[in-house]
């Protein structure tokens, strides 16, 4: 009897496999009974796990523990940050406008607690980087703004010039929020490096639990108004009994990825191998955002005449999980708003496939995917494939 090859998982930007350290920490936490707000010994033990994880995440982000607000994920962290009322170091701050880039995740594009008429979109260039001249223009057009820009794009991996953006927002007297979900574990992530007031993180993108995230403040003195109110958890910034096991797992991941240099270097080596192989198989392949700085693990590419919808199914049948655009928008037939904002032709955008590597990816995985891709592409568009002489 032959055993089927294990599935090939190349969709870490959608969700990453659970890291062993996170699994161990979560299983240990699940064995405990105790509400972290209870004063008895069982409660104090649960509280101990939550606070140890908070310390670990704060250390990884270069902030004080009190600056970490645990949430149910980055969608909630983003919505929490996009508030029209902030507590500032010298009193309340009421940003009148929200400026977001054209390539943000839907949870930022929805505008959080701002109304649509208060929202302006910052354009991006053909490589997906935000246009700083357009940001300058928008900042000069009205009153104090909250600016929200992602650190790196989930579909293309394109990295935004955050230090330049942060300096401009600071000069304008505005507030700056960064959705750092895809940068975590791949680039150093610290709000102070970018002059950001808050950054959003998601545990499941880095090998922790799904449904777990955090809003990390540069300083606990400057914070958005609470989204969930009720009990006094998270220093009155996020009511509700904490998800102790998921928080403990997030803490374990934070300890592991605090220094991500070695893992990132390996991811970049694998990604380069992949893109070289891709161009060798399909000369017409286009890699989106390849002239910009990109995350080391992400490759969003298209081969003309190889529609993503069909290629995705064919890859799946051969055992490989990849994505067309972001997981949040797959299942919908529309083209990616990210590629549209970059001015990519709609026909080509419909051929866009994203592969995203992570801590489980090996060189053998890359080789296996290239073989599989050659077969898929040659079936869907024989002319696109370079055959060995
Ligand atoms: N921002 C970005 C850039 C993302 O990629 C995602 C996940 N697709 C989110 C926010 C939302 O994260 P979560 O799944 O934790 O709500």
At 176-207, the pLDDT tens digits run 999 999 999 999 999 999 999 999 999 999 99
164-176 per-position pLDDT tens digit: 999 999 999 999 9
Q: How many CA atoms lie within 13 A of 263 on its CB side?
A: 19
The pLDDT value given to residue 325: 64
- 154: Cβ below 6 Å to ligand 1? yes
Percent of residues, the chain, with pLDDT higher than 90? 92
Report d(CA 296, CA 173) in Å as an integer.
33
The pLDDT value given to residue 2: 60
Residue 157 token pair = 């991996």
Report d(CA 88, CA 68) in Å as an integer.
16
Catalytic residues: 328
Range 20-259 has CATH code 3.40.640.10: yes
CA-CA distances (angstroms) from residue 228 to 70, 107, 240?
12, 17, 8
- 81: Cβ below 6 Å to ligand 1? no
The pLDDT value given to residue 389: 46
Report d(CA 85, CA 91) in Å as an integer.
11
- 202: Cβ below 6 Å to ligand 1? yes
Burial 177-191, CB ≥16 within 10 A → b, else e: bbbbbbbbbbbebbb
φ and ψ of 302, to 5 deg: -140, 140
Tell me the CA–centroid distance for residue 202 and ligand 1, in Å. 7
The pLDDT value given to residue 378: 96
Confidence of residue 259 (pLDDT cuts 50, 70, 90): confident
How many angstroms separate the first and last alpha carbons of the chain? 36
Tell me the CA–centroid distance for residue 356 and ligand 1, in Å. 14
Which residue has the CA at smallest separation from atom 10 of ligand 1?
Answer: 74
Average pLDDT, the chain: 95
Task: Cite the DSSP H helix spans in 66-125.
Answer: 74-81, 106-109
68, β-bridge pairs: 216
The pLDDT value given to residue 332: 55
| pLDDT above 50: residue 327 | no
Nearest to 198, CA basis, from 219, 184, 177: 177
330-361 per-position pLDDT tens digit: 555 578 999 999 999 999 999 999 999 999 99
Nearest to 336, CA basis, from 153, 129, 201: 153
If you search the block for the tokens 């998982």, which residue do you land on? 9
Domains in the chain: boundaries = 8-16+261-384, 20-259
| pLDDT above 50: residue 147 | yes
- 148: Cβ below 6 Å to ligand 1? no
Tell me the CA–centroid distance for residue 69 and ligand 1, in Å. 16
Over residues 295-315, mean pLDDT: 97
Report d(CA 15, CA 356) in Å as an integer.
10
CATH for 8-16+261-384 is: 3.90.1150.10
Distance of CA 9 to the CA centre of its chain: 18
Residues 375 and 319: beta-carbon distance below 8 Å: no
């Amino acid at each position: 009897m032959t055993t089927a090859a294990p599935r090939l998982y190349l969709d870490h930007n959608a969700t990453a496999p659970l890291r062993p350290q996170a699994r161990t920490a979560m299983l240990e936490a699940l064995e405990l009974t105790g509400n972290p707000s209870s004063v008895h010994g069982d409660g104090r033990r649960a509280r101990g796990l939550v606070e140890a994880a908070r310390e670990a995440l704060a250390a990884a982000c270069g902030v004080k523990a009190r600056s970490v607000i645990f949430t149910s994920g980055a969608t909630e962290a983003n919505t929490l940050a996009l508030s029209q009322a902030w507590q500032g170091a010298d009193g309340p701050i009421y940003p009148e406008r929200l400026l977001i880039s054209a390539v943000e995740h839907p949870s930022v594009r929805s505008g959080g607690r701002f109304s649509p008429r208060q929202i302006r979109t910052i354009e991006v260039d053909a490589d997906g980087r935000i246009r700083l001249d357009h940001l300058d223009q928008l900042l000069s057009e009205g009153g104090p703004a909250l600016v929200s820009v992602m650190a790196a794009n989930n579909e293309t991996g394109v990295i935004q010039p955050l230090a330049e953006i942060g300096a401009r927002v600071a000069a304008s007297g505005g507030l700056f929020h960064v959705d750092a979900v895809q940068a975590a574990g791949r680039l150093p992530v610290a709000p102070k490096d970018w002059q950001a007031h808050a950054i959003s993180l998601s545990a499941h993108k880095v090998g922790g639990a799904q449904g777990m995230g955090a809003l990390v403040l540069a300083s606990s003195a400057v914070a958005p108004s609470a989204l969930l109110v009720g009990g006094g958890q998270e220093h009155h910034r996020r009511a509700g009994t904490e998800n102790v096991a998921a928080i403990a797992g997030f803490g374990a991941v934070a300890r592991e990825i605090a220094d991500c240099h070695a893992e990132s270097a390996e991811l970049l080596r694998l990604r380069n191998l992949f893109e070289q192989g891709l161009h060798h198989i399909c000369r017409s392949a286009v890699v989106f955002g390849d002239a910009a700085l990109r995350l080391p693990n992400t490759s969003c590419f298209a081969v003309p005449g190889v529609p993503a919808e069909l290629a995705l199914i064919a890859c799946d049948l051969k055992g490989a999980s990849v994505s067309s655009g972001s997981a949040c928008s797959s299942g919908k037939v529309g083209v990616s708003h990210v590629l549209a904002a970059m001015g990519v032709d709609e026909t080509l955008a419909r051929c866009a496939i994203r592969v995203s590597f992570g801590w489980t990816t090996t060189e053998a995985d890359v080789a296996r995917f290239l073989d599989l891709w050659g077969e898929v592409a040659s079936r869907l568009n024989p002319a696109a494939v370079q055959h060995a002489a």
